[in-house]
Structure formats: structure tokens, C-alpha cells
Amino acid sequence: MKKFYLFGICCLFIAQYVKAQQSAGSVISVNFQQATIQTVVADIESKSNYHFYYDAAQFDSLKVTLQATDKTVPAILDLAFNGTDFHYALNGQQVFLTKGKILQTTLAPGFFGIKATPGVPVAAVNTVSAFVSEGDKIIPEATTENKLYEIGVKTNTIQTGRATLSGYIRDIKSGEAVTGASIYITAQKTGVATDQYGYFTISLPKGRHLLSIRGVGMRDTRRQIILYSDGKIIIEMMEQVTSLKEVKISADKVANVRSVELGVTRLDIKSIKQVPTVFGEADILRVVLTLPGVQSVGEASTGFNVRGGSADQNLILLNDATIYNPSHFFGFFSAFNPDIVKGVELYKSSIPEKFGGRVSSILDVTDREGNKKKFAGSAGIGLITSRFNIEGPIIKDKTSFIFGARGTYSDWLLKLLPGAYKNSQASFYDFNLDISHQIDDKNNIYITSYISRDKFKLNSDTSYSYSNRNVNIKWKHNFNNKLFGLFLAGSDRYQYDIASFDNPVNAYKLKFDINQTNFKSDFTYYLNTSNTITFGLNSIYYKLHPGSYGPNDPKSLALPDVVPAQQALESALYLGDKYDVNDDLSVSFGVRYSLYNFLGPQSVNNYAPGTPRSSTSLIDSTNYSSGKIIKTYGGPEIRLSARYNLGDNLSIKGGYNTLRQYIHLLSNTTAIAPTDVWQLSNPNIKPQYGDQVSLGIYKNLKSNTIETSVEVYYKRLKDYLDYRSGATLVLNHHIETDVINTRGKAYGVEFMIRKNTGSANGWISYAYSRTFLKQDDPNVGQPVNGGSFYPANYDKPHSFNFVGNYRFTHRFSLSLNVTYSTGRPITLPTGKYYYAGSERVYYSDRNAYRIPDYFRSDFSMNIDGNHKVHQLTHNSFTIGVYNLTGRQNAYSTYFTQEAGVITGYKLSIFAKPIPFINYNIRF
């Protein structure tokens, strides 16, 4: 519209130019006494050929008292407006009256290639350059590379100073926001990345710029802009169809070197999908495990360990909802549907101040937004699972949904087994439903929900089931070009139950659940070109039912036993600033003040001070009424990181973090069992505290196609909860007597080389890392290993990973994955004896020995159907072999007595090469 106006005015100017010269000389006489503008205009128009254009409302304060004889109209107007804020402009016979600004009726000097006369100041006062206010303007949709887009309020000359460009990047095909796309202005050596919702803001000098835009899985593109003043732009990007299987880890080729953060890895679903997995279905957690610094205790275990932290010290978020159990089917599958997920970010070291509540890492998984333009979907068929998703617009270009479902049909597999396992059952399903709605260009609403359920029964009469349930609503609001806000309200639940049926007398049901209600508000404020400020307030209300046990049959004698519910409120206020000191030095500094209130109703046990907590040192208990604050913990958490560029492609970074964790997972097994219990901090159980210092060197080679990094870290953990020998963790009314505050230390060095582009791509990582725990609580009767340091279950000093992909053609690629690690620590028997009719073993110090080293290689072929755009469905196959060499890796070792004699066994799963096939269809 603006362009149309300008064009129209231009034509008028040229057509009437000649006339104006003729009438400019005629004179009139006027006499005004406190005249309104209407009177003045009517009088002049009656005495001359001039026509006036003005906004009467703007002139209601003007009263003209003037007597003039034989003056030209311009001279009269000069007198009338002298000393006021009103101005006029002449264009032939037309007079434009304005308030505050002068309308420029001539083209800018140099418009037709004529140089401006030197020494003549141009536009010394404010000039009006547009006829429409910015609010009515349509934000340009910049779709082509070769066009010059004008941003902001156009002026004849480029003014000095800076302006803020904010924008939104979306996929041209689906209308979905492009997360983590980088906008880089080479000439300015500056850049920015889009946030989770596709928005970005950058401050630039006014003038012409070339924006280079790179997005994960998107075709690189450029936009030319002229930035006149603060303004907005929408950029549409095309999907990179030709490189479906390209590994992309980081959105930004220079991010590795240029970002302030350390130990942050971003993976997009395409790179996740090409890593071979045991059943052929893409698995986010398996790929995360190939990153340096990430370990797991075993092949089919739930959870992962980051830089020496335990599995419960990772905050796993799916669209900002906390997932307490990220695994399905004994850990063979992860809880995230690969067809819905867009990408994942793992924070190992620099944890943004907006996150908190766990002391090791944050794994942030984000779903895609549904296609806003057309309906689409996909389906995948695997050996024991299938999945389906559909997405599409509800209101075109405004509202979209995406729905995903997965399920198993594995019981047939278990039925094929020999007698001992015949009666086993295992199944799971999960559903995702996300809706996003764009109210206007300042407001977006996102609703995300997730539900999963696992059920299994292993050859016994006991059945287990667990479930995650999450829902949240987010409102993203752009207050202005510089201030963004995100508000979230949501609810997360994790529950499990164990039930026994066969013997009616003993039939029981055991239930556990944890519920949290979340509220979050996060703000980002682009203060100026060198400061980006983030601040916000988060709070979580926990309601945890630690266990309720009761009869499951009318005949059952099971005595109901309920451990009372626990309540707590965890709140945090944070403020952070990313400050670019100069081109080479950037600092990110944040403080998060977290506060935890353990709330009533509750009965809290009191123990004799200075003695080991046990049933004998229990003095009494205090009852607190509902809502009463029983205990408050809290303190500041520091998030600090800095980057210094040593050259264009080389930088060093350092960071220091402290974190607090108020919720604990109690487990006495090597891996997390689906039935372990979570426990809130209370007067007898202190929150966990961790801090980490890390340092890294980053270098990009071969024009940023190869990224290398080395990071070292040292980490301390305080008040991590370990368990006593023979501890009972389920249905324990005084859990504090069975757990021990443990101290931990972890250190290591991580190397990574990755190549993100080209037909050969992938990464190689190596980490040397150690983790030790120590029970130095003086109130512990018999500390493990006599109170000295012992290696944690997941202490694997050496680990090496290779993930590679070679694309032969656009439709055919090969992937290879190689993993090596030192065996995990185990406790081995040092002696044996005869007791109760059999040989028995006497165990050594905890974790004094190791299982044999782990080595595995997997291979897969990805075959795509043809890439013709217009066809009903697009097909692809993944065929591969898991554990190519068939190495019998030890899953566990154990000593058991058979017919009274002790024998040691090494158990391997996936002890042979396992072929798999997966068929995917997209429509």
C-alpha cells in the first residue's frame, strides 16, 4: 500500500510541476483575527488558485491573527506559522499543512543520479516520509533474494545511528517457524539466531545490508534490505530437499566458535534419524548418548548421565513440560516420537538462567509446529512399533495442529519365546497433540500435550505400568521490537502402579505419582546492540504421593499402607545479560535465585542430633497443618560464561555454573528402574547442590565446514542421595533413615570433531571422564567403602563415538556408528562361604571392579523413493544391522548359586548382529 501511495504521489509531482511555477508569483491580501484554520484556508482558497490539504484536528489549537497586504501565499503562510509547530509544503497549487514535520515535496538529491549540492544541508528538520503510520503497515514478506526490501519508515537519506530489525522466519511450504536459523551480516561481523518460535531481533546500523540466512535443514538464502528505522520483516525459507540425510548438528556454522555458551549441543531430527538404532526407529536419547560427556549404564537402560551426574540430575523437557520417565519398553525406545520432534538441545555446562531445578544438565526437546498451509502426515512401520502423525491447518496461515501416535505390538514376539518367558507381556503407546495459533504478529498461543503409557508383566503374577501426562499452554507476546515475553501454565504428571493378582490373599496394588503445576514467565529484552537481557519468574508446585499400598481383591488381606502426600513450592527469579564487550569478547552473566518451600500438611520425624538417623534415634515427630511452610531452602545460582575470539575461526570460552536441585530420585539399582521413587527435599533431606567450572577451545576449519572443540570441566556435587546397604525405598515412612548424603566429584576432557556439510558428514567424539562419590556424612553408621571415594556406577573413563553418513546420491546414503567405552564399574565378590545349604559370596568394596569394555558398530542404509514433488506419497526405507560385529558386550555380570555352587555369569543382550527394517511413508 505504501508503495502505491508513493508511486501515485510521484506521478502527481511530475504532472503538476509546470503549473506550480506559473502561479507562485500572484499576491493577495488577508486580515485574520483569531481565525481558525478553516477560516484561513477558506479565505486564501477564495483569493488564489491554491488548494489546501490538512488534518483539521491537528490544527484545532491554531488561532491566526495576521494582517498582510499584497503578499504571496507562501509569504502569508510563513508569517502565519512563524514560531509555531505548524508547517506547510507547496506542490504547484497544492498546499499541504502539517504539524511537527515538514513534508518534502521534492525528490531527494541524487534520486536521478544527480549529486547533491555539497554544503546544502538536506532535511535538517524532521521530515514526514510516509503517509501511513507504522501501525497500519504490512510487514514485508521477503520471499526473493534479488529484491531490495525497505524496512522501517522510509527517509530520503539514510540516517546515521542504529535501528532494530526484528523478524520472523518460517518455512515457505508449511508456514512453520524455523527455529535456530542464523541471520548473519558478514559486513558487520554480527549475527543472531531465531528463537524457539522463529523470531529474532538484531540491532544494525541504518542502511543497506545483506542478510545471510542459514537454517537447519533449510536451503541457505540471502535477503537484501535497506534499514531506514526500526522495523519488521518476515523471511520465508525453502526446505533443503536435496539433502534429506545430511547431518546437521548446529544451526549456525559459526555458532560453535561465536556463541558464548559452552557444552551446548543442538541436534535436529534429520541427524537423529540417520543414526542406526536397534529396532530401526529413530531414537533421540540414543543419539544424545553419542555426544561426548554423555554416558549410560547399559544398553537398555533408562536415562543417561551427563558429565558425572546421576540420571535424575537431568531435566528432560518436552515443549517445556517435565518428562520424568523418558523411556519406553525397558529403555529400548525413548519417549519422544521422532516424527513429531523438531530438535533437541542438550546443555551440559552453560545452563541458561531460565532453566533450573536439576544439577547436571537440561535436555530440551521441541516438537514441530503443524503445517499451517496444507494437510500432511507420515507413517512408519517397524518390527515391533508403528507410528503415525498428521498435521495441518485449522485456520489457514494462522492455526495449525500436529498429532502423533505410536504403539507396540510386541506381544507376538514374547509369545515366541521359550516357556519361561511365554507369559510375559510388554506394550506401550504415546500420543502428542500440539496446536499453535497466531493471533496477530505480536501474539501467539501454543498448546502442547503428551501422554504415554507402558505396561509390562514378566513371567510373574506382578504387572507394572507407568505413565507420563503433560499439558501446557504458552502465550508468546511481543511487547515491542525489543521486548518479548513468554508465559506458560502447565501441568505434568508421572505415575506408576504395580499390581499382583494371582494369589487372592496377597493380591495388592501399589501406586505412586508425582504432579507438578508450572507457571513460567520469561522475558527477553534487547537493550541495545551489545546487551541482551533475559529475566523471568518460574514456579512449580509439587504434589507427590510417595506410595499407597492396598488390597486388589475382595479376599485380599493386604493392609492398606499410605505414605502421606508431600507438597512443595519451588520458585525462581532470574536475571541475565549477554554483553558483547567488543567484537572479540562476549560475556553472559546470570543469576537465578531459587527458593523452595516444603509445605504441610505433613508429619516430620525428629532425630537425636549428632547420631546416625535410624529408628532408634527417632525422638518424635512434629505435625504441620495444611499450607504451613515447614522448611525453606534457597539461594542464588550463578551462571557465568565468556568467549574471547582469538581469530576468525578460533575462540576460547570459560564458564562457571552453580545449580540446586530439590527433588531426588531414590534408586538402589544400577539403572533407573521404572518403579523407583522420587522424593522431595524436606527438613531431613537436604537439596542437592552442584557447581561446575569449564573451559573450552573451539576452532572451525575449511571455511566453517569442520568444527572442532576441546572442553575440560571439573564438577562438584553435594548432598546427592545414595542409599544404605539393604535399604527399603518403597513405602518407607522414614526414608531419611535409609539414604545417605553423598558428595561427588567429576572431571574430564571432551574432544569433538564434526563435519556438517558435504556428502560425507558426521562426528567423532572422545571423552576422558571420571566420577567419584564419597559418603562423608558423619551421621552415617556404616558408610560405603569406609567413607572414602568410590567410582559411581556410570564412571566410564574412556569413551569414543563415531557417527558418520555418506550420501552416494540424493536417494541413497549409508550410515555407520561406532561406539567404544570402558566397562562400567561393578562390585565383585572377593570371597565365598557356605550358608543356608549353598555357597554364598562375600562382596568387595562397592564398584571396585569393571565389566569388560564395550564396543559396538551399527550400520544402516537409507533409501528414499523418488523426489518428485507432486505425488501422493513419498516413501523411504531404512535397512540396517545393529551390532555389526556381533560382539557379546556385557550387559551385566552376576554371581548366582545353582544347585549350591556359585557361578559367575556375564549376560549379553543383542549378542548377535540384529538386522532391522523400517518403512516410512509421507503424505
Partner 1 sequence: MKGRNICICILGLGAAVAGCRKTYAPQVVSSGNTLLVVEGVIDPGSDSTFIKLSHTVKISDTTKVAAEKGATLTVEGNGLSVPLTELRPGVYACPPLNADATQKYRLRVKLSNGKEYLSDDEEAKVTPPIDTITYEPTFRGLKISASAHDPSGKTRYYRWDYDEDWRFNAKFFSSYKVVNGVIFPRTPADLRFSCFSSHASTVVVLGSSVKLAQDVISDQPILTIDSTSEKISIRYSILLKQYALSKAAFGFYENIKKNTEQLGSIFDAQPSEIAGNVHSTTNPAEPVIGYVSVCTVQSKRIFIDKTELPAKWITKYPYDCRQDTTWFSNPITGAPEVKAFILTNLTLPTQEIAGVGTALLGYYRTDFICGDCTLRGTQKRPVFWKDK
Ranges within 374-393 binding partner 1 (CB under 8 A):
383
Our CB check for partner 1 shows the closer of 459 and 529 to be: 459
Binding mask 849-868 for partner 1 (x = CB under 8 A): x-------------------
| 608 counts as binding partner 1 under rule CB under 8 A | no
Minimum CB distance to partner 1, residue 671 (Å) = 4
Q: Report the alpha-carbon distance of residue 443 to residue 537 in Å, rounded.
A: 20
Minimum CB distance to partner 1, residue 740 (Å) = 12
Q: In the structure grid, which three cell numbers stand for residue 847, read together?
A: 564398584
| 297 counts as binding partner 1 under rule CB under 8 A | yes
Q: Report the alpha-carbon distance of residue 95 to residue 72 in Å, rounded.
A: 13
CA atoms within 13 A on the CB side of 57: 0
Question: Are the beta carbons of 794 and 807 closer than 8 angstroms?
Answer: no
**Cα distances (Å, whole numbers) of residue 490 to 63, 450, 541, 691, 803:** 60, 12, 11, 29, 37
Pairing of strands 102-103, 127-128: parallel
| 301 counts as binding partner 1 under rule CB under 8 A | yes
Residue from 65, 67, 906, 923 that binds partner 1 (CB under 8 A)? 906
Contact region for partner 1 (CB under 8 A) — 296-304, 768-776, 800-808, 859-867? 296-304
Q: In the structure grid, which three cell numbers stand for residue 587, read together?
A: 560475556
Residue with cell 499382583: 500
DSSP letter for 177, please: B
Which residues from 815-834 bind partner 1, rule CB under 8 A? Answer: 827-834
Q: Report the alpha-carbon distance of residue 825 to residue 810 in Å, rounded.
A: 44
Q: Report the alpha-carbon distance of residue 457 to residue 335 in Å, rounded.
A: 19
Our CB check for partner 1 shows the closer of 492 and 497 to be: 497
Residue from 126, 186, 623, 782 that binds partner 1 (CB under 8 A)? 782
| 665 counts as binding partner 1 under rule CB under 8 A | no
| 508 counts as binding partner 1 under rule CB under 8 A | yes
Which residues from 390-429 bind partner 1, rule CB under 8 A? Answer: 413-414, 416-417, 419-422, 424, 426
**Cα distances (Å, whole numbers) of residue 759 to 699, 756, 857:** 22, 9, 21
| 549 counts as binding partner 1 under rule CB under 8 A | yes
- Please give, one letter per residue, the 3-state secondary structure of 577-632: EEEECCCCEEEEEEEEEEEEEEECCEEEEEECCCCCCCCCCEEEEEEECCCCEEEE
Omega within 30 of 0 (cis) for the link into 612: no
Residue from 693, 712, 814, 911 that binds partner 1 (CB under 8 A)? 911
Which residues from 697-736 bind partner 1, rule CB under 8 A? Answer: 725-726
Question: Are the beta carbons of 486 and 522 closer than 8 angstroms?
Answer: yes
Our CB check for partner 1 shows the closer of 567 and 815 to be: 815
Residue from 675, 684, 779, 875 that binds partner 1 (CB under 8 A)? 675
Our CB check for partner 1 shows the closer of 330 and 607 to be: 330
Minimum CB distance to partner 1, residue 496 (Å) = 12
Q: Report the alpha-carbon distance of residue 919 to residue 863 in Å, rounded.
A: 10
DSSP letter for 329, please: G
Which residues from 439-478 bind partner 1, rule CB under 8 A? Answer: 456, 458-460
Our CB check for partner 1 shows the closer of 415 and 442 to be: 415
Contact region for partner 1 (CB under 8 A) — 20-28, 314-322, 534-542, 841-849? 841-849
Measure the CA angle with vertex 233, ends 160 and 12; round to 5°. Answer: 70
Our CB check for partner 1 shows the closer of 196 and 556 to be: 556
Contact region for partner 1 (CB under 8 A) — 219-227, 362-370, 622-630, 893-901? 893-901
| 291 counts as binding partner 1 under rule CB under 8 A | no
Minimum CB distance to partner 1, residue 839 (Å) = 7
Binding mask 116-155 for partner 1 (x = CB under 8 A): ----------------------------------------
Contact region for partner 1 (CB under 8 A) — 139-147, 361-369, 797-805, 889-897? 889-897
Alpha-carbon torsion (613, 616, 620, 625), positive or negative = positive
| 355 counts as binding partner 1 under rule CB under 8 A | no
Q: In the structure grid, which three cell numbers stand for residue 677, read together?
A: 521413587
| 638 counts as binding partner 1 under rule CB under 8 A | no
Bridge partner residues of 171 (DSSP): 237
Minimum CB distance to partner 1, residue 274 (Å) = 20
Minimum CB distance to partner 1, residue 819 (Å) = 18
Our CB check for partner 1 shows the closer of 330 and 574 to be: 330
Q: In the structure grid, which three cell numbers stand for residue 192, read together?
A: 543472531
Minimum CB distance to partner 1, residue 466 (Å) = 13
Which residues from 645-664 bind partner 1, rule CB under 8 A? Answer: none
Contact region for partner 1 (CB under 8 A) — 359-367, 398-406, 517-525, 896-904? 896-904
Q: Report the alpha-carbon distance of residue 799 to residue 822 in Å, rounded.
A: 6
Our CB check for partner 1 shows the closer of 410 and 651 to be: 410
Q: What is the CA radius of gyration of the chain?
A: 34
**Cα distances (Å, whole numbers) of residue 2 to 137, 154, 155:** 8, 10, 13
Which residues from 40-59 bind partner 1, rule CB under 8 A? Answer: none
**CA nearest to 367, candidates 442, 428, 449, 440:** 449
Minimum CB distance to partner 1, residue 847 (Å) = 9
| 846 counts as binding partner 1 under rule CB under 8 A | yes
Q: Report the alpha-carbon distance of residue 882 to residue 734 in Å, rounded.
A: 45
